[in-house]
Amino acid sequence: MPDESPTPEITVTLQVNGAQSQVTCDVRTTLLDLLRERLRLTGAKKGCNRGECGACTVHLDGRRVNACLVLAASADGREVTTVEGLATDGELHPVQRAFIEADAFQCGFCTPGQIMSAVCCIREGHTGSNEEIREWMSGNICRCSAYPQIAAAVEAAAAATASDAAPVSASDEAPAGASGRTPASTDGRPPAPTPATVTASATGKRR
């Protein structure tokens, strides 16, 4: 006879983009689903939902993680930053500006994750060369294959924020995307974005 007992729930309290949130959810809820479905923060995207694409990258206590692989329960009491929380006082983060200036996207689906990963890549000090940037951004896949512009944007943002970069210890050096493999490219190229999608992609406002 099937087990019909209710799924256990948990109440999670976390700081999201500087504001405290408390959510009661199924114990199996991922951080990504909590952000998107419960807090309506849809900047982090659900691409593969299994840790392969990096579209869901957010910061957990200042480190990049794939939100689809993190249980909401394990984020209890911790600080989460999503792409919606990067800008300050209406000013885009330097990495957001760099992505716009370098035209570092096409459809924009991967862009919030790329930006969140890039912020940490710079902070970790992995921007010594174009090759190093590509290696440490390799957990973030862009199916539009905008890699040259993405790497250029990270390079430009790193130069602009050089004083913020601080090397981290070896234990901190897991690429966020966590796939650890070179991004695959694709020949499929969607239409060029409109001006509205350009800003929306960098700020995560598209669903």
The structure tokens listed for 82 are 């999503």
Nearest in space to 94 (alpha carbons), one of 54, 140, 127: 127
Asked if 109 interacts with ligand FES (CB under 6 A), we say yes
User: How near is the Cβ of 106 to ligand FES at its closest, in Å?
Assistant: 4
Residue 9 has phi, psi (to 5 degrees) of -115, 160
Asked if 54 interacts with ligand FES (CB under 6 A), we say yes
Q: Identify the residue among 38, 51, 63, 76 touching ligand FES (CB under 6 A).
A: 51
6/109 with CB nearer ligand FES = 109
Q: Identify the residue among 14, 68, 72, 151 touching ligand FES (CB under 6 A).
A: 68
**Any idea which residue has 């951080």 for tokens?**
31
Q: Identify the residue among 12, 16, 72, 105 touching ligand FES (CB under 6 A).
A: 105
**Any idea which residue has 């694709």 for tokens?**
186
110/133 with CB nearer ligand FES = 110
144/200 with CB nearer ligand FES = 144
Asked if 146 interacts with ligand FES (CB under 6 A), we say yes
**How far is the C-alpha of 72 from the C-alpha of 13, rounded, in Å?**
9
For the chain, the first-to-last Cα distance in angstroms comes to 41
Cα→Cα distances 11→8, 21, 27, 139, Å: 10, 10, 9, 31
Residues in binding contact with ligand FES, number by CB under 6 A: 23
**How far is the C-alpha of 115 from the C-alpha of 128, rounded, in Å?**
18
Residues 4-43 that bind ligand FES (CB under 6 A): none
User: How near is the Cβ of 47 to ligand FES at its closest, in Å?
Assistant: 4
**How far is the C-alpha of 160 from the C-alpha of 8, rounded, in Å?**
47
Task: Count helices and strands (H / E) in the chain.
Answer: 6, 5
Asked if 204 interacts with ligand FES (CB under 6 A), we say no
Amino acid letter, residue 33: D
Q: Identify the residue among 142, 152, 154, 176 touching ligand FES (CB under 6 A).
A: 142
Asked if 52 interacts with ligand FES (CB under 6 A), we say yes
Asked if 202 interacts with ligand FES (CB under 6 A), we say no
Enumerate binding residues for ligand FES (CB under 6 A).
46-49, 51-56, 66, 68, 105-111, 142-144, 146
